[in-house]
């Protein structure tokens, strides 16, 4: 009887440990998780940047790059040689967080907004909820800043062979299809970046990333070439 209880307890603990390591692997491994712990909202990084951006004035002819870390990581005004461009990307941002901070952007009625959001949400909420939030973001911009020209950019692919991000490229394709529908329904421009970044397997090209999700300089140069069609 005691042996049976021991084996049952051992199997339960083994399943627990195995499940723990499986989840860690799906989230990108221990190194990635430690990096996230050092830089996530627990350390106040998100709030620090959000509060900082909220205090920055914005000219009425501003061109806003709005998104998460993929947007934040580029010096857009310098890359595109345009002083009107302002970076309003925040690392770790999701659709819910963006809805909260939109007022600090729309109140200035900028000339253009280039929106990319949703990749981080895939680790937290359902695809359907992401699209619901995305529609709310678009609706808020259109209602509160009707003079702003809004561009909806497709979500970029990931490469889980470089590092397992825990995100699925099939889910990303689903979101992009729905984002394109939103653009069509609102009469907005859909900037389809996704095909420019995928390899033959539908993954983010390895030469454009070091971690499987964020872009290297070559990726931003591709993005730049596409944006010039709409900015100039």
Question: Is residue 18 located within the same domain as residue 72?
Answer: no
In the predicted model, is pLDDT for residue 14 greater than 50? yes
Question: Is residue 28 located within the same domain as residue 91?
Answer: no
Q: How much is the pLDDT for 230?
A: 96
Residue 33, domain extent? 1-39
Q: How much is the pLDDT for 232?
A: 78
Q: What is the pLDDT of residues 22-41, one digit of tens each?
A: 554 544 455 445 444 444 44
Q: How much is the pLDDT for 24?
A: 47
Q: Which residues contact 203 (CB under 8 A, 6 or more apart)?
A: 157, 158, 159, 160, 161, 169
Question: Is residue 107 located within the same domain as residue 199?
Answer: yes
In the predicted model, is pLDDT for residue 226 greater than 70? yes
Question: Is residue 156 located within the same domain as residue 76?
Answer: yes
Question: Is residue 34 located within the same domain as residue 51?
Answer: no
Q: Are 173 and 125 within 8 A, CB to CB? A: no
CA distance 226 to 190: 12
Question: Is residue 1 located within the same domain as residue 81?
Answer: no
Question: Is residue 152 located within the same domain as residue 88?
Answer: yes
Question: Is residue 34 located within the same domain as residue 59?
Answer: no
Question: Is residue 100 located within the same domain as residue 4?
Answer: no
Q: What is the pLDDT of residues 134-179, one digit of tens each?
A: 999 999 999 999 999 999 999 999 999 999 999 999 999 999 999 9
Q: How much is the pLDDT for 2?
A: 53
CA distance 216 to 37: 23
Q: How much is the pLDDT for 47?
A: 87
CATH number at residue 98: 3.40.50.1110
Question: Is residue 139 located within the same domain as residue 184?
Answer: yes
The count of structural domains within the chain is 2
Q: How much is the pLDDT for 30?
A: 52
Q: Are 230 and 64 within 8 A, CB to CB? A: no
| Lowest mean pLDDT segment, chosen from 43-47, 59-63, 106-110, 173-177 | 43-47
Q: What is the pLDDT of residues 84-93, one digit of tens each?
A: 999 999 999 9
Question: Is residue 30 located within the same domain as residue 122?
Answer: no
H-type alpha helices, the chain: 2-26, 30-39, 45-54, 69-72, 76-79, 95-101, 103-106, 127-144, 169-186, 217-231
Share of the chain above pLDDT 90, in %: 74
Average pLDDT over residues 108-127: 96
Question: Is residue 34 located within the same domain as residue 143?
Answer: no
Average pLDDT over residues 35-60: 73
């Amino acid at each position: 009887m005691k042996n049976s209880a021991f084996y049952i307890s051992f199997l339960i603990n083994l399943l627990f440990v195995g499940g723990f390591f499986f989840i860690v692997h799906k989230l990108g491994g221990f190194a990635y998780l430690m990096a996230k712990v050092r830089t996530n909202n627990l350390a106040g990084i998100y709030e620090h940047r959000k509060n900082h951006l909220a205090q920055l004035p914005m000219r009425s002819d501003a061109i806003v790059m709005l998104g998460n870390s993929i947007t934040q990581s580029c010096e857009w005004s310098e890359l595109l040689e345009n002083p009107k461009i302002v970076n309003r990307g925040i690392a770790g941002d999701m659709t819910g967080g963006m809805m909260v901070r939109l007022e600090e952007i729309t109140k200035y009625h900028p000339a253009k907004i280039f929106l990319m959001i949703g990749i981080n949400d895939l680790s937290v909420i359902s695809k359907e909820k992401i699209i619901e939030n995305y529609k709310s973001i678009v609706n808020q911009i259109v209602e509160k800043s009707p003079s702003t020209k809004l561009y909806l950019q497709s979500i970029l692919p990931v490469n889980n062979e470089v590092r397992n991000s825990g995100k699925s490229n099939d889910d990303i394709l689903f979101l992009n299809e729905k984002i394109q529908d939103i653009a069509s329904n609102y009469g907005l421009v859909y900037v389809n970046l996704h095909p420019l970044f995928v390899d033959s397997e539908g993954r983010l090209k390895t030469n454009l990333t070091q971690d499987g999700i964020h872009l290297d300089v070559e990726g931003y140069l591709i993005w730049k070439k596409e944006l010039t069609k709409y900015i100039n």
